[in-house]
A and B are shown apart, each in its own frame.
Chain A
Amino acid sequence: MNAVRKQRLILVLLLLAGVGVAVALMLFALRENINHYFSPAQMAAGEAPVGQRMRGGGLVVPGSVERDTESLKVSFRITDGAGEVTVHYEGILPDLFVEGSGVVALGTLGDDGVFAATEVLAKHDENYMPPEVQKAIDEAHPGYTKPTVQTTAQSELRSLQDGS
């Protein structure tokens, strides 16, 4: 084997080894760290696996938010129009956590049907609807959109003028 060939062989082997290790690592890590999304209806119907880390999301049911008076424990219900599930969380809720608007929670579903969240996300745009929440709502109620979602500037501004 001449020097150039040998060198090229080494390059190819190095490359293959690198790619192999990377792919193996990636697939392993992906398998361990994927969070599936389940809608409140699926959770309520028992279609979501118990004890597995997952994401759940929906609209916060107005009037369902209850705070503990001593700690940061909070509980609320989320809905997609077809089913509801109770969420327990301890910590600071995001700025845009508002009753009636969309949230996504990360956590596990318990035997008692309560979703224990370790993280609650609400997006930094009041018109923003988490896509999976919108999809779940669409499937439960075709044609339904959250009333406050306004897509054009005109309607945004008109409501602003009406309001003030």
Chain B
Amino acid sequence: MVAEAGLLALIIALCLSLLLSVFPLVGSYTGNIRLMNQARSLSWGLFAFVGFSFLCLVWAFVTDDFSVDYVARHSNSLLPVQYKVSATWGGHEGSLLMWVLILVGWMAMVAVKSDRLPPELSARVLSVMGMVTVGFLLFTLLTSNPFNRILPFPPENGADLNPLLQDFGLIVHPPMLYMGYVGFAVAFAFAIAALLGGQLDTAWARWARPWTTVAWVFLTLGISLGSWWAYYELGWGGWWFWDPVENASLMPWLVGTALMHSLAVTEKRGLFKSWTLLLAIFTFSLSLLGTFLVRSGVLTSVHAFANDPERGVFILFYLMIVVGASLTLFALRAPEVRSRISFSMASRETLLLVNNILLTASAATVLLGTLFPLLLESLDMGMISVGPPYFNFVFVPMAMLLAFALGFGVLLNWKNGSVKWLISQTRWILLVSIIGGLGFSLFYGDAFAKNFLIGEVLAMALVLWIVLTMVRDILNKTRNTRAKAGLVDALKRLKPAYYGMHLAHLGLAVTIVGVAITSGYSSQRDLRMAPGDRVTLGEYQFRFDGVSLQHGPNYTSDYGSVTVYENGRQIALLHPEKRIYAAQQMPMTEASIDPGLTRDIYVALGEPLGDDGSWALRLHIKPFVRWIWLGSLFMALGGVVAISDRRYRMKVRQKVNTLRPFGNEGVASA
């Protein structure tokens, strides 16, 4: 019965979302305040019904209701209870339901905060989000109903959750990622509402900014959680594979990052308006494209869900409608939001433009590499794959240019600046950075002769460059107050938004350190080891102590033991495992890691070789690999600090009373 209640709730939610996409929008044009106010209660209703439906599905999992097809395919009575809950989003149907839940969750949040917005704007934003919800609810109900029953003969037990997904990483990775993906629907809805209203000003940008930043923070965390999960769970020791589905999450992140920066220009200077709108549309479209790529199974990927062409076609049409409609609207309305403000060449605006160009261009290269195989195949020009070398070759130089431009952008002021001043500010920093990069290679990387890596030198120089320009900027910004009130007081007077920016940029530097050193100076050996064998890798000695049989709740495990020594002293005892999960008879490698701030020691079991108890072993030493994820934490934290800025709360209220930029006048003149 619970499953039927869940389905019923979904159907009611669909009706509510249909109402939401029509009435408040009509109200915003006719000036009917009662219709506009419906948006808020409808959003709440949607959230309640979808939330209830989701809880019904969780209930079906927790109570082992294997008469529900989806539960039978993704759960098992032996599964530990926390994984039963997370199995709810372990397959296609459930993760789609979670997607919808998060979408209406964002809507409910917008509804809560909407009293700060002009009624027309909030009605339109919520209506647009309602339309997006209609599409996804239809998709869920028509092609991927999670509540389908297997009757009259339900199985006695379920097929179990894919062992790869029985992990803490999976409990948190998809919700985070979806929060990010779907969060950009808010920015998208704001953009469409602005286009519908035909006007866009700095107040609009100030409203749209925090939502975009929050979505970006979640996406940042989601992506890095996914990378971390792949690192410890897949057993290959890699942290990024340029897998199509990883790319699918990276593209909205890149364009979303561009959007955040472009929104800053729109808010502060009233510039880049139509570009900002376009980026908001692109960011969400790329999120949808990501969904299409994952769900349709058109691309080969570790994330491949069960392939179902019908689903792919549905999302493809949906994508075409969303992109087509919003771009048409953009083409019709964008000329009305044009701005006529000039700025000099050496200004922050120019550098943010460079930032936007580089970010969108890098997103385009990733898109090309991801879709090129599909394109050739559909033209019947053979089957190809585009490997990591392509992505590294095009993406890394652009990322480096971006990091270089970042330093200038941070130092420059809005509107006016001179190239001469910029040179006087940066020439010493540049010199120190280059020397620092070379020095790093000299001291860390085995000197120039054997192991000179130009990419690593450049990367470390750029890290110094980012940090030093940041310090210089803080000194510049505090110059006047420092003399009067002292450094500490001067630092206190800087705004949270300013610190948020630097924190996020520092995060980028930290991530670059991690990527550069891990890529350049990792060591790895795959080898055959018999119990008692010793091997040296880098500064560490490994002793393989054999494998014993162990039993887990729903698996049996070959439980290996490897002792690690440094200079003859034992520093770690690692237990890599090879598990066989009972229900699916599926083998799983569980790597064992000794983590550290400057290096990870990573050991994974390959396969048993021969009768003497010897195994294939994979040993890695990964210097600074944690910095990759540490940097993304800094970035996310920077975003959080930035939106804690009081101007997003205080000034908005004042503006609402004095400014009504989205009234009917805008529509009438259109």
Contact = CB atoms under 8 A, between A and B. Distances in A.
A11 B155 contact: no
Contact of B342 (A4, A55, A106): A4
Interface in B362-399: 364-365, 368-369, 372, 382-387, 389-390, 393-394, 397-398
Interface in B608-633: 609-610, 616, 618
B528 interface: yes
B73 A156 contact: yes
B24 to A, nearest CB: 37
A25 B398 CA distance: 10
Contacts of A95: 235, 586-589
A130 B300 contact: yes
Given A34-B386, A156-B73, A124 B159 contact: no
A123 B304 contact: yes
Given A67-B609, A92-B606, A14 B390 contact: no
A33 B365 CA distance: 13
Contacts of B22: none
Interface stretch (A15-23, A80-88, A107-115): A15-23
Contacts of B382: 36-37
B343 interface: yes
B549 interface: no
A30 B390 contact: yes
Interface in B39-98: 69, 72-73
A96 B164 CA distance: 12
B306 interface: yes
A80 to B, nearest CB: 13
A154 B150 contact: yes
Nearest to B397: A25
B358 interface: yes
B72 A153 contact: yes
Contacts of B342: 3-4, 7
B159 A14 contact: no
A124 B589 CA distance: 11
B583 interface: yes
Contacts of A25: 365, 393-394, 397
A126 B584 contact: yes
Given A7-B343, A72-B616, A132-B383, A15 B389 contact: no
Contacts of A37: 382-385
User: Chain B at the A interface: mostly helix, strand, loop or mixed?
Assistant: mixed
Interface residues of A, number: 51
Given A18-B357, A25-B394, A72 B526 contact: yes
Nearest to B587: A95
Contact of A96 (B527, B587, B609): B587
B390 A33 contact: yes
B522 interface: no
A131 interface: yes
B159 A160 contact: yes
A125 B73 contact: no
A127 B382 CA distance: 25
A45 interface: no
A67 B616 CA distance: 12
Interface in A12-61: 14-15, 18-19, 22, 25-26, 29-30, 32-37, 55
A26 B366 CA distance: 9
Q: A10, A34, A67: which has the most chain B beta carbons within 10 Å?
A: A34
Q: B156, B357, B398, B527: which has the most chain A beta carbons within 10 Å?
A: B357
A40 B398 CA distance: 38
A33 B386 contact: yes
B354 interface: yes
A109 B118 CA distance: 67
A124 B384 contact: no
Nearest to B389: A33
B361 interface: yes
A39 B541 CA distance: 43
Kindly list the 7 A-B residue pairs having the minimum CB-CB distance in the complex, ordered from nearest. Answer: A92-B606, A33-B390, A37-B383, A157-B155, A29-B393, A22-B361, A18-B357
14 contacts: A3-B342, A22-B394, A26-B364, A26-B369, A32-B389, A33-B386, A33-B393, A34-B384, A71-B527, A92-B607, A128-B304, A132-B383, A160-B155, A160-B157
Interface of B: 69, 72-73, 150, 155-159, 162, 164, 235, 300, 302, 304, 306, 340, 342-343, 345, 353-354, 357-358, 361, 364-365, 368-369, 372, 382-387, 389-390, 393-394, 397-398, 526-528, 583-584, 586-589, 604, 606-607, 609-610, 616, 618
Interface of A: 3-4, 7, 10-11, 14-15, 18-19, 22, 25-26, 29-30, 32-37, 55, 67, 69-72, 91-93, 95-96, 104, 106, 123-128, 130-132, 135, 151, 153-154, 156-158, 160-161
Given A14-B353, A93-B607, 11 more contacts: A10-B345, A14-B354, A26-B365, A26-B394, A34-B372, A37-B382, A128-B304, A131-B300, A151-B306, A160-B157, A161-B155
